[in-house]
Amino acid sequence: MEETAVKPAVRPATARERADRAAATGGVPTLEFHGLVPYDAYVRASDLHRLQQPLSEDAGEMSFLVVSQVMELYFGLARHDLTDAQQRLRGDDVWGALLPLRRAALHLEGLTASWQTLRWMTPADFNRFRNLLGEGSGFQSAMYRRLEFLLGLRTASLIRPFRSQPEVHAELTAALAAPSLWDDVVALLARSGHELPRDLLDRDFSTEHEAHPAVEAAWVDIYRDHGPGNHLRELGEALTEVADRFGDWRYRHLNTVRRTMGAKPGSGGSNGLAWLQRSMAREAFPELWSARTYM
């Protein structure tokens, strides 16, 4: 009978135990462990560092690969906190939603900073390994697509590349059909007494939300109240920060593509730069931006 691999466990420790250990070692770190060191058992660092498998001997490809993987982790992390905020808003816990929204904005800031480590890459540098990527493209990131859907940027056809991966396709289909974070914010505004038409609340969520003057007017009204108890105003600012940081990432993406490949066609079949420029015209949480004209 085949033995089942046992996951190494991280043993919990209390503050008293940590203090006793430090006293016993004289403040010197513990150096003896059985099996995996606790850090590796928790972070899975050894597993992470085995995931880099470059396709070429070019030293620069490792930068491109690692940054791509780091971005994938940031996509998932931002989505995690935005989903937490969304669940809290569904329960009318506006105050509780602010912290995960602020965390998500900081994750997006870290995501954007990832582009900085590719600033060394010229078209010649990229061309040394680009052909080996075949049709591989960041456009095909399922986690990025789920993040976009959560932010309200929805194009149903963009889940088609995943039809041959049933589990991923099912997750994306469900994400597309579910309300976005912005849809839940709009529903919250209605529950808070702002007059919004019914068709904004009972609609096909798989289609992208179109900016509506009633939502814009609700935000103008919310921002008129500068009192310390106006949590909806703080919600508006937290959401604006998320949208702003997401816009920063898309802008840095555009500039990195321009810097490394100009207007060449993209690896995944798009026209590259022009596709990204069109994508940037769609904004997350549109009425939060347009309402500022009337505040």
Binding positions are: 130, 253
Q: Which residues are annotated as a binding site for heme?
A: 253
∠ CA 259-263-269, rounded to 5°: 115
Name the residue among 140, 292, 110 with its Cα closest to residue 217: 292
Name the residue among 244, 266, 269, 241 with its Cα closest to residue 254: 266
Q: How far is CA 214 from the centre of its chain?
A: 28
Say how far apart CA 287 and CA 65 lie, in whole Å: 37
Per-residue buried b or exposed e for 51-63, using 16+ beta carbons within 10 Å of the residue's own CB = eeebeeebebbeb
Structural contact between residues 291 and 214, judged by C-beta atoms closer than 8 angstroms? no
Q: Which residues are annotated as a binding site for substrate?
A: 130
User: Which parts of the chain fold into alpha helices (H)?
Assistant: 15-25, 38-43, 45-49, 61-90, 94-113, 123-130, 142-150, 166-177, 181-191, 198-201, 213-224, 231-261, 273-280, 286-290
Say how far apart CA 35 and CA 15 lie, in whole Å: 24
Say how far apart CA 287 and CA 213 lie, in whole Å: 8
Task: Return the amino acid letter for 84.
Answer: D
